Amino acid sequence: MKKQMRILTPLLLGLIVAISVISIRRISDIRDYSKLINYVGIVRGASQRVVKLEMNGHPDDELVGYVEEILNELLTGQGRYGLVLADSEIYRNNLDLLKEQWETVREEIDCVRQGDDSSSLLASSEKLFEIANDTVFSIEQYSREMAEKTAGMVSVTALVSAAAFAAAVYFYIRKFFQLKVTNERLEGLAYRDELTGAYHMERFYEEVNRIMAQNPNEKFAVLYVDFENFKYVNDVFGYSYGDELLKGYAHFVMSRLRDKELLGRDMADRFVILRRYESRDELLKTQEQVDEEFLNSSLVKSNRHLMTIAGGICCAEDMVEEAEAVRMVDRANFAQKEVKNKPGKRYAFYGEEIRRKLIAEMSVKDRMQEGLDNEEFVVYMQPKIGVKDGTVKAAE
């Protein structure tokens, strides 16, 4: 399309320029033809006045010369009045007849001046008037035809211009949407995980904070989902199968996300989900249903015994501090560790009990350096035991 536009654009512009130049030339010619109509009309009127004066004994040679001067310029296109030659055969023939009839009238005027009867002059002047009328009508008709042709060319110019404009608009609109799609694809590559299509964590954090800030009256929760024993799946069935499982799970989740809900991938086999909810039961049921559908899918079903999903849930309303994306993900992850590799329970809500445990663990971690500095740690050595010939022996 771009290559075609490069070829068509100069052609269309050239056509528009050519038609415009011809149209301007035609308009100028029409103006000149209007002048011809006026001067042929002058010849018609002045010649009749010449005859009238001659028949009443008042000859006017100056007026006669004026008529002849106009006629000569009409025939030759040369003179002081700026008259042009019209490319009309009918008009040219009528003009020749007008000239011949004027010569006849001149001869009759000479005869009348010599004393002859004026009846012949009157008859010749009437014929001159008719020819002059025909000449006026022929140039009027020609001028009208030229005007119609010019109007047609202007219309063509307008249509070509409109077509060129429409083509340009279409091209640039199409280009705009192509760029938009490209930008969206590039944005997707920048902000989304290549394997699963889920958001990278930094983008996930940004979107979660934006959505919660724009919807303060709605309830939001972050879920931290982890596949247990996933390393074993990769080792037994290969990394390709593991990648298919991750893509399949991401597809299951994203196809069931509602407005203002998101999926992100933290690392490896761990996902984070932003969900809206009305009640905790509804929130938990929704996620468990997605997990169950995935585990019953053809991708997983034959190896379901190897797949276990554990997750933690942090509701914004349960946060003591500000409900912020990074904190909520951390809290959901901590809640997930409470059920990971533990039978019977697959999801845990972050709450006061877990919060106290988290504080206790953080307190221990905070005192580790202090304990090292105060030599509070004691090292115990575990002896190495070996079995040989059915006898237990300490390693040497």
What would the pLDDT profile of 265-277 be if each residue is shown by its tens digit? 998 899 999 999 9
Encoded tokens for 240? 């390709």
Q: Where are the domains of the chain?
A: 2-172, 201-373
The answer to whether the beta carbons of residues 67 and 50 sit under 8 Å apart is yes
Q: What confidence score (pLDDT) does residue 176 get? A: 78
Burial letters 285-317, b for 16+ CB under 10 A, else e: ebbeebbeebbeeebbeeeeebbbbbbbbbbbe
Contacts of 72 (CB under 8 A, 6+ apart): 79
Span 94-121, pLDDT tens digits: 999 999 999 999 998 999 888 888 888 8
Write the DSSP assignment of 202-230 as a string of letters.
HHHHHHHHHHHHH-TTS-EEEEEEEEETH
Q: What confidence score (pLDDT) does residue 155 get? A: 77
Q: What is the CATH number of domain 201-373?
A: 3.30.70.270
Taking the complete model, does pTM exceed 0.75, yes or no? no
Span 289-301, pLDDT tens digits: 999 899 888 888 7
Residue 87's nearest CA partner among 134, 38, 132, 143 is: 143
Contacts of 316 (CB under 8 A, 6+ apart): 212, 219, 220, 221, 222, 323, 328
What is the average pLDDT across 141-165? 77
Q: What is the CATH number of domain 2-172?
A: 1.20.1330
pLDDT bin (cut points 50, 70, 90) of residue 159 is: confident
Task: Write the single-letter amino acid at 394.
Answer: A
Span 201-247, pLDDT tens digits: 999 999 999 999 999 999 999 999 999 888 888 888 889 989 999 99
Distance CA 186, CA 51 (A): 92
